[in-house]
Chains A and B, each alone.
Chain A
Amino acid sequence: MLNAERAPVTGKRVQLMATCLCDAFYDDVAAATVEVLEHLGVEVLFPDGQTCCGQPAFNGGDWAASRKVVRHAVRTFAGDEPVVVPSGSCAAMMFHGAVLEFEHEPDLPEVEALGRRTWELGDFIVNGLGVKTWPGRFDAKVALHRACHTRGTGSIAAALTLLNSITGVRVVEFGEVEQCCGFGGTFSVSFPNISTAMGALKLEHLRAAQPDVLVSPAMSCMMHIGGLAQAEGKPIKTLHLAQVLRDALKAK
């Protein structure tokens, strides 16, 4: 199941799935997501019992463990508001991965229902709410990372729509945008040599394009690319799309 074509939303209240990465490392991304949504007049609920989308175990092949976590998510995100998540990867887990691992489970319909309500942030703003321009100002040469789990969704086009509409933003292209950064969840630690070689290629292309900031709709890739650059002693600036949108508003 992909979410490429869904009906726009009408309600103005959402549940925020902050993601485990934002919970542990990237609190500012989650905060920016709240501020961006509130700027759009959306009321943001934060179900306090939330943990993770279940993807680490799903990708690691331990579907039984993953289903435990997904069931927890289904209980935590009860209701009928859209669930907005500042990560293309966790969003895809909810509307695609979870559905796959529940195909023989009796509670598949509940999992599918949660998947249908789950939106990646940029996709939600542009295709859910119908907002296609962004106010404010952000003076930077921006490279947009195509987080792989947004393939087949509206997220990248949405992010580009928003970025291109911001005064001061110049989106720069770089080589092999469709290639993965090498993160891949557990792949990054069970295949560390391949994973870092893939990351090095991504960095090479990025550095050639000389952006001021690398922007992504998911922080997992940023953790990988940014962590690699930092360990090399040549850090690059990374931001989540939500942070760019929030900072643009602040500069107004």
Chain B
Amino acid sequence: MRYQPIDQFLTTLPADKRASVYQSTKATHEKRTKLLFDEFPDPNHLRRIAGEIKQHTLENLDTYLPAVEAKMKANGVKVHWASTAEAANQAVLAIMRARGATKMVKAKTMVSEEIELAHFLEKHGIEALETDLGEFIVQIDGDHPSHIVRPIIHKNRREIATSFEREGLGAYNDDPETITRRARQFLRHKYLAADVGLTGANFVSVESGRLVLVTNEGNSRFSLAAPKCHIALVGIEKLVPRDRDLGLFLNLLARSATAQDLTVYTEFISGPKLATQPDGPEEMHVIFVDNGRTEVLASECREILRCIRCGACLNVCPVYRQVSGHAYRSVYPGPVGAVLSPLLAGERFATLADLPKASSLCGACNEVCPVNIPIPDLLLRLRNKAKLENVPSPGTPPMGAWALMASQPTAWRAALFGGKLLDYVPAKLIPVPAMQAWSAKRALPAWRGGEFRKWLKARASKRT
């Protein structure tokens, strides 16, 4: 392979998909920026505070996790710990089996994508239905989400209408309102028939043991309202220390993710229904999922665990805007995914070691991150890790000879004069891959090696 896989992927994308991903990410990013800067005198200050709170929490997980477990137990919640994806899936299955449950409705949760829960449950004869509209469409198409917040950013309404027709959800109609209404009618019965509702958690307050869920469709609320059992899958990094921290995080999350002041639905769940409450789940389980997170915490890229999955870095990223999510071959795409996915891959790091290279290191991701993750620095660390582990990197020029020259002034000066060659040989004919990659669409400036030094010397001799 001459170039990087993500670069090759671009050449397979139809122009209209590229254009629509570009337009919608750009629009969300611009609205986000306007909203934050119109409403807060210094949003960057808020991002820094939020980053510090998350970093503090991560660095004290050893005390916060037992503390939140105790609080949740006191609230009547059953707490489980899953160190791997397999363990998390088994924990869900065990809860379902103990209740004789066969039907689950799922709210959107990235960690369930990460552990491939729906596939796992289906293999065990359990219906696990996605209720987020985007995830529902992904599910009926046997597709994968391509954005953290907007899983079907890669699809247009004509494709969706075709899928709905195929699934027997009505005759072809690509009007978005009709599509939404049909999904709603179909799902409504599913909620009522479900045995278990599964959600993630956007935040968990250690102080109160409350889970916080945000959606715009109300599907997580409905997933909790009808079934008798609620299971929440929660990555161990989701904690915040206090209830009052949620004010900051909810304000930042909605603005960063969807350019809203607040999501339409925000739920605070502290346990199963009380005896005095008429409705709600009788049983509530929280499964804390590690699945490689403690390894990340022990690495030099631990800041990535601050991530609150808003997708702002995807929306601003010039590379994501071109290639969209599937290019990243993993659950988490874009700048955050380019850091998180290879790390969570653990021993399979090498298979995703090209992701951190898919960045011009422009730093836009860091500028928009609501928890101020230094994403470019982490991408660079992972590039170095790949080099140290001898992972091949197609298209990256070797640096050894260059470093040797650049640390020896005599060799360097000789090369400056030697480069004159470039003026006589067309760059496209020079058998250096980097040169060919450059000159397919870009001209090189004329070689002027050593001219500045000559100018300086001539000037100095004139003056003396």
**A contact set with B: CB distance below 8 Å:** 18, 20, 22-27, 30-31, 34, 46, 48-52, 54, 56-66, 68-69, 71-72, 76, 97, 100-101, 148-149, 151-152, 176, 178-180, 182-199, 201, 223-224, 226-228, 230-231
Contact = CB atoms under 8 A, between A and B. Distances in A.
A190 B438 contact: no
Nearest to A35: B459
B452 A31 contact: yes
Nearest to B452: A27
A223 B445 contact: yes
Contact of B407 (A48, A58, A72, A178): A72
Given A23-B449, A51-B409, A187 B433 contact: no
B289 to A, nearest CB: 30
Given A61-B387, A187-B360, A24 B419 contact: yes
A190 to B, nearest CB: 3
Given A52-B406, A61-B393, A178-B364, A101 B384 contact: yes
A189 B400 contact: no
Contacts of B346: none
B412 interface: yes
B126 interface: no
B403 A192 contact: no
Given A148-B360, A193-B3, A62 B403 contact: yes
A192 to B, nearest CB: 4
A18 B380 CA distance: 25
Contacts of B425: none
A206 B43 CA distance: 29
Given A25-B446, A58-B380, A148-B363, A190 B10 contact: no
B399 A62 contact: yes
Contacts of B46: none
Nearest to A101: B384
7 contacts: A34-B456, A52-B412, A180-B318, A194-B319, A227-B438, A227-B444, A228-B442
Interface string B432-458: 011001111111111111111101100
A56 B416 CA distance: 17
B438 A188 contact: yes
Given A189-B397, A194-B319, A227-B445, A180 B4 contact: no
B170 interface: no
Contacts of B359: 184, 187
A54 B402 CA distance: 10
B443 A100 contact: no
Contacts of B440: 192, 196
Contacts of B445: 25-26, 223, 226-227
Nearest to A29: B452
Contacts of B366: 151
A186 B432 CA distance: 13
A31 B458 CA distance: 12
A72 B395 CA distance: 27
**Residue among A27, A54, A71, A176 with most chain B CB within 10 A:** A27
Contacts, number: 218
Contacts of B116: none
Contacts of B367: 151-152, 178
A91 to B, nearest CB: 14
Interface string B115-138: 000000000000000000000000
A251 B293 CA distance: 61
Nearest to A183: B360
A227 B442 contact: yes
A62 B401 CA distance: 12
B397 A27 contact: no
B323 interface: yes
Given A189-B434, A227-B443, A24 B449 contact: yes
A226 B394 CA distance: 26
A62 B408 CA distance: 18
Listed from nearest, the 3 A-B pairs whose CB atoms lie closest are A184-B360, A61-B383, A190-B395
B10 A186 contact: no
**Residue among B3, B416, B437 with most chain A CB within 10 A:** B437
B164 to A, nearest CB: 33
Contacts of A184: 359-362
Interface in B397-428: 397, 399-400, 402-409, 412, 416, 419
B63 interface: no
Contact of A189 (B11, B322, B403, B433): B433
A190 B360 contact: no
Interface string B173-209: 0000000000000000000000000000000000000
Given A57-B402, A148-B361, A190-B396, A231 B441 contact: yes
B102 to A, nearest CB: 46
B3 A192 contact: yes
B344 interface: no
Contacts of A30: 452
B4 A196 contact: no
B167 interface: no
Contact of A231 (B11, B377, B396, B442): B442
A59 B416 contact: no
A151 B6 CA distance: 26
A6 to B, nearest CB: 19
A248 to B, nearest CB: 20
Contacts of A186: 396-397, 434
**Residue among A59, A152, A194, A230 with most chain B CB within 10 A:** A194
A88 to B, nearest CB: 11
A84 B67 CA distance: 52
A189 B2 CA distance: 10
B30 to A, nearest CB: 9
A138 to B, nearest CB: 22
B358 interface: yes
Interface string B336-366: 0000000000000000000001111111101
A61 B407 contact: no
A63 B387 contact: yes
Contacts of B455: 27, 31
Given A149-B363, A196-B442, A65 B380 contact: no
Given A61-B383, A227-B442, A189 B448 contact: no
Given A182-B360, A191-B6, A61 B396 contact: yes
A46 B413 CA distance: 14
